[in-house]
Chains A and B, each alone.
Chain A
Amino acid sequence: MEEVVYLDNSATTRVAPEVIDAMVKMMEKDYGNPSSLHRMGITVEKKINKAREQIAKILGVKPKEIIFTSGGTEANNLAIRGVVYQYNKRGRHLITTRIEHPSVLNTFQRLEEEGFEVTYLPVDREGFISIEELKSAITPETILVSIMHVNNEIGTIQPIQKMGEVIKEINPRTIFHVDAVQSFGKLSLNPIQMKVDLLTISGHKIHGPKGIGALYCNEKINLKPLVEGGGQEWNIRSGTENVPGIIGLGLASQLIVKEREANVERLKDLKGWFLKELKKLIPDVKINGPESVEDIKEGKSAPYIINLSFPGLKGEVLLHALEDFNIYVSTGSACHSRKSAPSHVLQAIGLNQRELESAIRISLSFHTQKEELEYLLEHLPDLVVELRNLMQR
């Protein structure tokens, strides 16, 4: 196979050709500033609003509830800080989980330094948060709960709607933020129904460009802006709009939801088949996250994220060995010169040292074909055996 087998789609995705064309056109032809008073500005403004409508429609919300940002990280920062600085008179208690993306976790750690009290909910061995623990963590002082929808490393899908109901039942004034970077466009999302007030999405995880994301913000909520300036995006996020990025994100969101259900069903089967074959070939493989066929079918585990450990070798070495076959995956931990910094997510679900250092993540897209996973299965078992012999640990 001469082609690239790209299985790192949770890190980033290939930009769709239609998206590239649309973005290039914007840069060549519609290069006006949407804030300009003349026709060239108005043309661009209209296109931005169309992209806003496209995204709003997918989420079943109002266009004016969509704020464009530089990406998922900024949207998470804006959601959390924007709420906390605006509503800290109501209380100083916040809730999140131990398996969030660093853009959420590090923001909360900074807020702890600023005197806020943060509860970090633990997860079970499959990465699920207990609804009971969430219930007992909410107090009258709780102003914000931030929980991710799909975990980027192990694919666990939290029961967001149940959580939203529980939160609003105990404290209707508690604001609920969901990081949906890994689920937007792939799983159905309805913030209103899910009782979610703020929701983060990102362009480059859905075959759109990098450097663009958006935050859904319920119109009843006021956010303290992080960026001051010319007052774009209703004064919540100033700065001349990233026009090509916004157009790219709008179009990418249209393209990805087109055949969504069919694609999800296909990937569920594909993931189930892959794990079954893998266990035959490598009996002692450990699957991290929800692993049963039922979990995949019932929507407890994302059909496009697979996290595996091969105790006895190093994930990074396996990653590089796969590279030689043009197969691209990612690891569960970043290697350091004398020690590895294991993933906080894998630690939270209770992996031991050998499982931590040998983890790799395979992440699919709606374009992933069975042949590609077959090609992976052709090489993976041999490599695992060979590397284990060499590493002898």
Chain B
Amino acid sequence: MYTDILIRYGEIGLKGKNRKTFEKILVRNIKECLRDLGQFNVERTYGRIYLRQVDGLIDQIVERLARVPGIVSLSPVVKTGLDMEEIKEMALRVLEDALPDGGTFKVETKRANKNFPLISPEINRQVSAHLLINFSKELKVDVHNPDTVVFVEVRSEHVYLYSKVIDGPGGLPVGSSGRGLLLLSGGIDSPVAGWLGMKRGVIIDALHFYSFPFTSERSKEKVIELAKVLARYSGKMRLFIGYFTNIQKAIGLKCPERLHITIMRRMMFRMATEIAHRYNAKVLFTGESIGQVASQTLESMEVINAVTNIPVLRPLITMDKTEIMDLARKIGTYEISIQPYEDCCTVFVPDAPATRPRLKDAEAAEKDLMIDQLIKEAIERSTVLIITPDGVEAEYSLAEEQGVML
């Protein structure tokens, strides 16, 4: 029945001149996220976006778009001509879809087309009368608190009818706020942190630390799968595969066991900072949440954060695991995250990791590490993958690739 989808993006915090840019970015992201479903005609009019001719794919499209940053809400709509009989007929079908068991309703008309012969209250009256007479189930008008509202929008060439309004995530379209680098482990939390960054318009590049043979090829494949899901919201993303094996070995050989995790995280932050500088990312994103594991106590964070001078954003910092899991399910990463392949955060967990490390202890424990040399070598041996929702589009080594811009 529904022919089009109406997408509302509110006033995406829009300042006059920027508005066009935001809209363009949002339209591009919408097309990108539906790419595998087909090519859709997307129109921008009067501060709204219409997706045309989506018959048959409505449910799939709505489910996807409901997660695209920048979209405030969506409605599947029916399009009719400027003809009262046709409007009444379609209004009846919309109501039957929205209230299959009957209930209360009201009709609300917006008449943008001032040439239409009837004024809004008159349209409301006529449509309501038609619905009350012809609806097969119990039906009452309730103008204050109806179960459903049938909206009628009279435009210059068509009339749109709809009743369902599905909330989107709101926020800003990805690509409108600069670039951040996400530390992506393969667990449940980090993809969610990345998505929340995207929700505020940030372009997210991801960095995964790969530590063969301590982690397997499958853990890398898993992270690529996660990146493919995240790329649905932004179209494309970079995924750095950080070569971490030798750093891991050096830590294992030269540092006291209880500080392994702390120092490993410090090395990760050092490497991430270096990559962020190279690729013009302004901030780091992590999936940390206070107290979840030994490295995420406030004491650990202080000691780990001390190695970098760029802002480290932690969108999940005050969330409980259950809240994070709900979000992960919503954005489609949960099922992938729970696949049981180890990442380097889990292989090396000592029996008694330090939960309250002190900065001077960590610094002392690192004295035998050739930090700069290790980081330099690790970056040279890292690779970068360009990820789309369909898979890996390209792969470069970091040594040869000099900031291929997306």
Contacts and interface: CB of A to CB of B under 8 A. Distances in A.
Contact of B252 (A320, A323, A337, A389): A389
A338 B294 CA distance: 14
Contacts of B342: 316, 335-337
B403 interface: no
Given A314-B347, A336-B340, A337-B342, A392 B212 contact: no
Nearest to B252: A390
A391 B213 contact: no
A316 B252 contact: no
B212 A320 contact: yes
Contacts of B23: none
Interface in B212-244: 212-217
Contact of B340 (A321, A323, A334, A391): A334
B166 interface: no
Contacts of A337: 187, 340-343, 346
A321 B215 CA distance: 10
B252 to A, nearest CB: 4
B214 A320 contact: yes
Interface string A361-393: 000000000000000000000000000011111
A328 to B, nearest CB: 12
A173 B187 CA distance: 54
Given A338-B346, A390-B253, A320 B341 contact: no
B381 interface: no
Interface residues of B, number: 19
Contacts of A390: 248-249, 252-253
Contacts of B214: 317, 320
Contacts of B340: 334-337
B252 A392 contact: yes
B257 interface: yes
A324 interface: yes
A389 B253 contact: yes
Contacts of B347: 314, 317
A388 B248 CA distance: 14
Interface string A161-175: 000000000000000
Interface in A289-339: 314, 316-321, 323-324, 334-338
Contacts of A336: 340, 342
A389 B214 CA distance: 13
A333 to B, nearest CB: 12
Interface in B331-352: 340-343, 346-347, 351
Given A314-B347, A335-B342, A337-B341, A392 B213 contact: no
A40 B212 CA distance: 53
B213 A324 contact: yes
A334 B216 CA distance: 12
A321 B347 CA distance: 14
Interface in A143-193: none
A321 B213 contact: yes
A338 B349 CA distance: 9
A335 B249 CA distance: 20
B374 to A, nearest CB: 15
A393 B253 CA distance: 13
Nearest to B188: A337
Nearest to A318: B213
Nearest to A314: B347
Contacts of A323: 212-213
B249 A320 contact: no
Looking at A314, A318, A390, the one whose CB has the most chain B CB atoms below 10 A away is: A390
Contacts of A320: 212-217
Nearest to A389: B253
Interface string B160-186: 000000000000000000000000000
A337 B249 CA distance: 20
Contact of A324 (B212, B257, B346): B212
A216 to B, nearest CB: 37
A334 B257 CA distance: 25
Contacts of B217: 320
Interface in A84-114: none
Contacts of A335: 340-342
Of A316, A321, A338, A393, most buried by chain B (CB within 10 Å of CB) is: A316
Interface string A279-296: 000000000000000000
A120 B217 CA distance: 37
Contacts of A316: 216, 342
A320 B249 CA distance: 15
Contacts of B213: 317-321, 323-324
A334 B346 CA distance: 15
Interface centre among A319, A324, A337, A391 (most CB of B within 10 A): A337
Contacts of A314: 347
A9 to B, nearest CB: 21
Nearest to B339: A337
Contacts of B351: 393
A316 to B, nearest CB: 7
A389 to B, nearest CB: 6
Contacts of B216: 316, 320
Listed residue (B214, B215, B217, B346) with the most chain A CB atoms within 10 angstroms of its CB: B214
A154 to B, nearest CB: 24
Contacts of A318: 213
Contacts of A319: 213
A316 B248 CA distance: 16
Contacts of B249: 390
Interface string A42-81: 0000000000000000000000000000000000000000
A145 B214 CA distance: 42
Interface in B192-228: 212-217
A65 B343 CA distance: 50
Contacts of A321: 213
A321 B248 CA distance: 14
A392 B257 contact: yes
A346 B324 CA distance: 37
Contacts of B343: 337
Q: Which of A314, A335, A393 has the most CB of B within 10 A?
A: A335
Contacts of A392: 252, 257
Nearest to B256: A392
Interface in B14-42: none
Given A335-B342, A392-B257, 13 more contacts: A319-B213, A320-B212, A320-B213, A320-B216, A323-B212, A323-B213, A324-B213, A336-B342, A337-B341, A337-B342, A389-B252, A390-B249, A390-B252
7 contacts: A316-B342, A320-B214, A320-B216, A320-B217, A324-B213, A335-B340, A338-B346
Interface of A: 314, 316-321, 323-324, 334-338, 389-393
Which are the 5 A-B pairs with shortest beta-carbon distances?
Answer: A320-B213, A390-B252, A336-B340, A321-B213, A337-B340
